[in-house]
Chains A and B, each alone.
Chain A
Amino acid sequence: EPEVTQTPSHQVTQMGQEVILRCVPISNHLYFYWYRQILGQKVEFLVSFYNNEISEKSEIFDDQFSVERPDGSNFTLKIRSTKLEDSAMYFCASRPGLQETQYFGPGTRLLVL
């Protein structure tokens, strides 16, 4: 069964460093998302992406964040200058079309020191 994959599973970085989190959505899906979950808190929406552009972003998704779909398969989240409070589990999700199920990847656990 097709699934969303994410790499790396864990990432440790120093404050101020850039990180790139990678996702491979399910191949025929058209809508892509990033969410994050700070330890012990809710899963929060960050950004949605459709037709090669951002369709919506949350207040969390400031200028330090960017997303890209560099080719037909990968979907990346870049954090330019990480802060301690960026430490969280980051989930990628995708769905095939309107009002259909979002499938989540296993997540990347990011720790900023």
Chain B
Amino acid sequence: SQELEQSPQSLIVQEGKNLTINCTSSKTLYGLYWYKQKYGEGLIFLMMLQKGGEEKSHEKITAKLDEKKQQSSLHITASQPSHAGIYLCGAASGGSNYKLTFGKGTLLTVNP
């Protein structure tokens, strides 16, 4: 079965600082999703990556998938308190089912 390791487990940064969260898969990724979760709430979709070397950006968040499709990173530029939350990476299974397997998450705290 596919395993996803996220690092770091938690991160505390000062507002305005840049940060990176990593997600490493035990197998080649068919698709890699990034979600954000506020504690005890639902998952908010951020970005989806499918192709090796792909990079996507939305506002101050950039996600990349490496060429081998086994590692992804999420980079936040000039962090704000609104970026605080739990960031989850999810790997899509192959085939038509496309269920997601998630990492444990990275808890981000942004201090004003």
Instruction: List chain A positions with a Cβ less than 8 A from chain B.
Output: 31, 33, 35, 41-45, 48, 50, 55-56, 89, 91, 93, 95, 98-99, 101-107, 109
Verify A98–B96 contact, CB threshold 8 A: yes
Verify A98–B42 contact, CB threshold 8 A: no
The B68-112 residues at the A interface (CB cut-off 8 A) are: 88, 90, 92, 96-105
A94 to B105, CA, bound (A): 21
18 contacts between A and B (CB under 8 A): A33-B100, A35-B100, A42-B104, A43-B100, A43-B102, A55-B96, A55-B97, A89-B40, A98-B98, A99-B50, A101-B45, A102-B45, A102-B100, A104-B42, A106-B41, A106-B42, A107-B42, A109-B40
Verify B41–A45 contact, CB threshold 8 A: no
Chain B neighbourhood of A102, CB < 8 A? 33, 45, 98, 100
Verify A45–B99 contact, CB threshold 8 A: yes
Partner of A103, one of B31, B45, B88, B90: B45
Chain A neighbourhood of B31, CB < 8 A? 99
Centre residue among B41, B90, B99 by max chain A CB count within 10 A: B99
Chain A neighbourhood of B104, CB < 8 A? 41-42
Top 8 nearest A-B pairs (CB, nearest first) are A106-B42, A104-B43, A43-B102, A45-B99, A56-B97, A107-B42, A104-B42, A42-B102
Known contacts A48-B97, A98-B98; is-contact A42 B40 (Cβ 8 Å):
no
A93 to B97, CA, bound (A): 13
A91 to B99, CA, bound (A): 13
The residue in chain B whose Cβ has the minimal distance to the Cβ of A35 is B100
The B11-51 residues at the A interface (CB cut-off 8 A) are: 30-31, 33, 35, 40-45, 48, 50
Known contacts A43-B102, A104-B35, A105-B42; is-contact A99 B92 (Cβ 8 Å):
yes
Known contacts A42-B104, A102-B33, A104-B35; is-contact A95 B43 (Cβ 8 Å):
no
Chain A neighbourhood of B35, CB < 8 A? 104
The residue in chain A whose Cβ has the minimal distance to the Cβ of B96 is A98
A99 to B50, CA, bound (A): 9
> How far, in Å, is B17 (CB) from chain A's closest CB?
27
The residue in chain B whose Cβ has the minimal distance to the Cβ of A45 is B99
